Amino acid sequence: MFEKKPKLTSTKTKKRDIPSGLWVKCDDCDEMIYNQELIANLKVCPKCDRHFPMTARERISALADMGTFQETNANMTSVDMLKFTGMAAYTERLKTYQRQTQLNDAVITGLCQIRGHPVTLGVMDFTFLGASMGSVVGEKITAVIESATERAIPSIIVAASGGARMYEGILSLMQMAKTSAALARHAKERLPYIAVLTHPTTAGVMASFASLGDVIMAEPKALIGFAGPRVIKETTQQELPDGFQTSEFMLEHGLIDIIVHRKELRDAISKTLQYFAANGGRKSKAA
Amino acid sequence: MRIYTLDFEKPVVELEQTLESLRKQAQEQKIDLSAQIKLIEEKLDATRKEIFTSLTPWQRVQLARHPRRPYMLDYLQRIATDFIELHGDRRFADDHAMVGGLATLGAHRVMVIGQQKGRDTKENLMRNFGCAHPEGYRKALRLMQLAEKFNLPVVSFIDTPGAYPGVGAEERHIAEAIAVNLREMMLLEIPLVAVVIGEGGSGGALGIGVCDRVLILENAYYSVISPEGCAAILWKDRAAAPQAAAALKLTAPDLQELGVVDGIIPEPLGGAQVDYDASAAALKAAIGKELDHLQTVPLAELLSARYGRFRKLGVVQNQGTRSQTRKPRARSVNS
Ligand SMILES: [Zn+2]
């Protein structure tokens, strides 16, 4: 079957996304928080506002209008193309993470509505191999942007990444070019793209689609940067400035548009999209 | 006399030294040693062939980093005329790790950009070991857009261990500088040719590498991470770099098989540093051939082929069926 529309399957938040144990201790303020309360609070500490890590499925439930999310490329999985022979085989790592996270790879993509705005949404999940970008992440992100371009709707990506998918070698690097290429075409059609940076967003993801948003939003106190702080310290033999590579640091240096509290994120996105659509949306290029 | 020798080059260097002293002896003492000399010459040839036709990936990485390996400006000196270097990103600084300018390559007037390493400590400080800051990537983009304005093709020389990991680089947003290049190069309405001439170090290399044709010198490498960096993470030991180099599939033949490079430019036996002129001639011929061809391709076709070239890179499987990633129009998603 040759079909333009991506395969649609619905995704529900699963019970297993909820951390086991009734109580969770906040690393920042030492408060013991009742787990149900933490979840109800979008995984934000009620006492100190620390943003706890969120899985992709939790994020989608928090952003997409109820019942609107239709997943695309849900069954796409990685291939051990290079037959990577290291201390641990890639295929084994994949199996372990698939079992642990109930994800096929480090991103979930799909179509949904955010406060009534039809958008495509891609959400990376740090719990799967540190949200490293391999062929699957690159392909799903590229496809979901292309799908937004075809439908003439905005594209939203919630980014996270700890580094490259080394097991896929150079093909991992090439995903940076591929995803940015899709954004080039999307931008040429004057269609909105919003990047949301979460803890942590670094390396190749940061040096491609995460840095290319028309509007770039970040969650508070996320680690955001290109090179890892340890690498920088070793290379330069320099002390790093206070708050280096945090969302707040990025904002102060003029590198992101806005820091948004997780509870405000859905509003911030929908209001921004409202502005972009206010005067009939894209302006004719011939004007 | 060689200034620097890699471990695996030693047998060759020893024979070269023997040969030299024999020749000297023959000349000084006016005796006929031609039989011995011929013997050593033959042995030298055989040893060279033996070593350099069965290089391991790690040995190629070492050759790519050879301190005597020709750099971008060494090549330009030999293949370009009327080179006018253009400086600066018009925003912050002139990054000496990234060189750019107008050049004439045979029949082609082009814009050249590329990373430049230093030959000695002093020069390396100026060139920052070929590790560009955001300014370098922004200078490169400025020059590429200038080239587009006047319909000049771009030739990009890739030779970097990587973009510079430093506080200033982060503060001026190295990630964005690279990302913007990736996006904008995809849309440039001129032919783009890249050649990996030495080290193709990760995002720092790709930041000037989104081109219609990507070539690589025989002993150059292109990788998502340095073998040492990969070894440190996946083997917990930097000394495992040779294993990591093999696992990463970063050599020219591997890259061609993966579709990441379109052609391999041969180097003299022993590496590009053995004969600068011969290496430069091969490079010039290869670039010229690509430019000749690309300039006949209609613009719309050029741009869609460039998109397609990168779009298909990657391998995924869907419900057990493996496929190289393709354009969504051609993919049967529901089957
Ligand atoms: Zn707290």
Residues B252, B281 within the same domain: yes
What is the CATH number for B291?
3.90.226.10
Q: Which of A166, A226, A230, A232 is most worth mutating to test chain B (most B CB atoms within 10 A of its CB)?
A: A226
Count Cβ neighbours within 10 Å for each residue of B313-327 and write b for 16 or more, e otherwise: bbbbebeeeebebee
- Give the pLDDT band (50/70/90) at residue A17: very low
Cα A33 to averaged position of ligand 1 atoms, centre (Å):
8
Domain count, chain B: 2
Helix H or strand E encompassing A10 = strand A9-10
Tell me which amino acid residue A233 is: K
Residues of chain B found within 8 Å of residue A139, distances taken between Cβ atoms:
314, 316, 325
Q: How far is CA B28 from CA A103, B17, B19, B32, in A?
A: 77, 16, 14, 11
8 Å CB contact between B94 and B182: no
Residues B38, B147 within the same domain: no
Helix H or strand E encompassing B221 = strand B221-223
Residues of chain A found within 8 Å of residue B207, distances taken between Cβ atoms:
207
* Nearest by CB: A235 against B166, B250, B307: B166
More confident residue, B321 or A201: A201
Per-residue pLDDT at A85: 80
End-to-end CA distance of chain B: 65
Per-residue pLDDT at A2: 39
Domain with B195, as residue range(s), is 61-311
Per-residue pLDDT at A18: 46
The pairing of beta strand A155-161 with beta strand A193-201:
parallel
Rounded Cα–Cα distance for residues A188 and A260 (Å): 27
Rounded Cα–Cα distance for residues B333 and B319 (Å): 10
Residues B49, B90 within the same domain: no
CB contact under 8 A, A78 and B202: no
Sequence-distant (6+) residues with CB within 8 A of B294 are: B153, B191, B193, B212, B213, B302
Per-residue pLDDT at B1: 44
Q: How far is CA A177 from CA A202, B44, B183, in A?
A: 16, 44, 7
Residues B148, B13 within the same domain: no
Sequence-distant (6+) residues with CB within 8 A of B122 are: none
The shortest C-alpha distance from B175 to chain A (Å) reads 4
Is residue B334, in this structure, part of any structural domain at all? no
Residues of chain A found within 8 Å of residue B245, distances taken between Cβ atoms:
none
Interval B29-81: pLDDT, tens: 998 999 999 999 999 999 999 999 999 999 999 999 999 999 999 999 999 99
Residues of chain A found within 8 Å of residue B250, distances taken between Cβ atoms:
169-170
Domains and CATH numbers, chain A: 19-52 (no CATH), 53-277 (3.90.226.10)
Could you count the other beta carbons within 10 Å of the beta carbon of residue B140? 27
Count Cβ neighbours within 10 Å for each residue of A189-207 and write b for 16 or more, e otherwise: eebbbbbbbbbbbbbbbbb
Residues of chain A found within 8 Å of residue B328, distances taken between Cβ atoms:
4, 6, 143, 146-147
Rounded Cα–Cα distance for residues A220 and A152 (Å): 31
Residues of chain B found within 8 Å of residue A151, distances taken between Cβ atoms:
none
The shortest C-alpha distance from B311 to chain A (Å) reads 5
The shortest C-alpha distance from B79 to chain A (Å) reads 29
HSE value, Cβ hemisphere, 13 Å, CA-based, for A236: 19
8 Å CB contact between B183 and A212: yes
User: Please, which residues have CB less than 5 A from ligand 1, an ion?
Assistant: A 26, 28-29, 31, 45, 47-48, 50
From first to last of its 335 residues, chain B has per-residue pLDDT tens of 456 789 999 999 999 999 999 999 999 999 899 999 999 999 999 999 999 999 999 999 999 999 999 999 999 999 999 999 999 999 999 999 999 999 999 999 999 999 999 999 999 999 999 999 999 999 999 999 999 999 999 999 999 999 999 999 999 999 999 999 999 999 999 999 999 999 999 999 999 999 999 999 999 999 999 999 999 999 999 999 999 999 999 999 999 999 999 999 999 999 999 999 999 999 999 999 999 999 999 999 999 999 999 999 999 999 756 666 644 433 333 33
Residues B28, B68 within the same domain: no
Nearest-10 Cα torsion for A167, A173, A176, A181? -120
Is residue B285, in this structure, part of any structural domain at all? yes
Residues B144, B40 within the same domain: no
Sequence-distant (6+) residues with CB within 8 A of A162 are: A126, A130, A131, A132, A200, A202, A203
User: A62 CB near a chain B CB, below 8 Å?
Assistant: no
Rounded Cα–Cα distance for residues B112 and B212 (Å): 15
Show the tokens assigned to B98.
Answer: 């990234």
Is residue B325, in this structure, part of any structural domain at all? no
Is residue B320, in this structure, part of any structural domain at all? no
Which A positions 179-198 lie with beta carbon below 8 A of chain B? 180-181, 183-185, 187-188
Query: Residue A259 forms beta bridges with which residues?
Result: A218
pLDDT at residue A267 tops 60: yes
Residues B26, B89 within the same domain: no
If DSSP states are collapsed to H, E and C, what string results for A65-103?
CCCCCEEECCCEEECCCCCCCCCCCHHHHHHHHHHHHCC
pLDDT at residue A119 tops 50: yes
Residues B43, B137 within the same domain: no
Rounded Cα–Cα distance for residues B158 and B217 (Å): 10
Query: Residue A216 forms beta bridges with which residues?
Result: A195
Sequence-distant (6+) residues with CB within 8 A of B320 are: none
Residue A287 DSSP SS3: coil
Rounded Cα–Cα distance for residues A64 and A70 (Å): 10
Rounded Cα–Cα distance for residues B170 and B307 (Å): 29
Query: Residue B263 forms beta bridges with which residues?
Result: B215
Residues B47, B93 within the same domain: no
Rounded Cα–Cα distance for residues A19 and A25 (Å): 12
The pairing of beta strand B81-85 with beta strand A23-25:
unpaired
Per-residue pLDDT at B325: 65
B95: left (phi over 0), alpha (psi -120 to 50) or beta: beta
Cα B315 to averaged position of ligand 1 atoms, centre (Å):
42
By CB atoms closer than 10 A (0-12, 13-18, 19+), residue B8 is middle
Residues B124, B201 within the same domain: yes
Residues B32, B49 within the same domain: yes
pLDDT at residue A20 tops 60: no
Per-residue pLDDT at B5: 81
Rounded Cα–Cα distance for residues B204 and B115 (Å): 9
Per-residue pLDDT at A270: 98
* Nearest by CB: B183 against A6, A77, A212: A212
Largest alpha-carbon pair distance within chain B?
Answer: 84
Residues B39, B166 within the same domain: no
Is residue B326, in this structure, part of any structural domain at all? no
Rounded Cα–Cα distance for residues B97 and B135 (Å): 10
Show the tokens assigned to A14.
Answer: 């699963």
Tell me which amino acid residue B45 is: D
Q: Which of A84, A167, A174, A190 is most worth mutating to test chain B (most B CB atoms within 10 A of its CB)?
A: A174
Q: Which of A104, A65, A170 is nearest to B314 (CA)?
A: A170
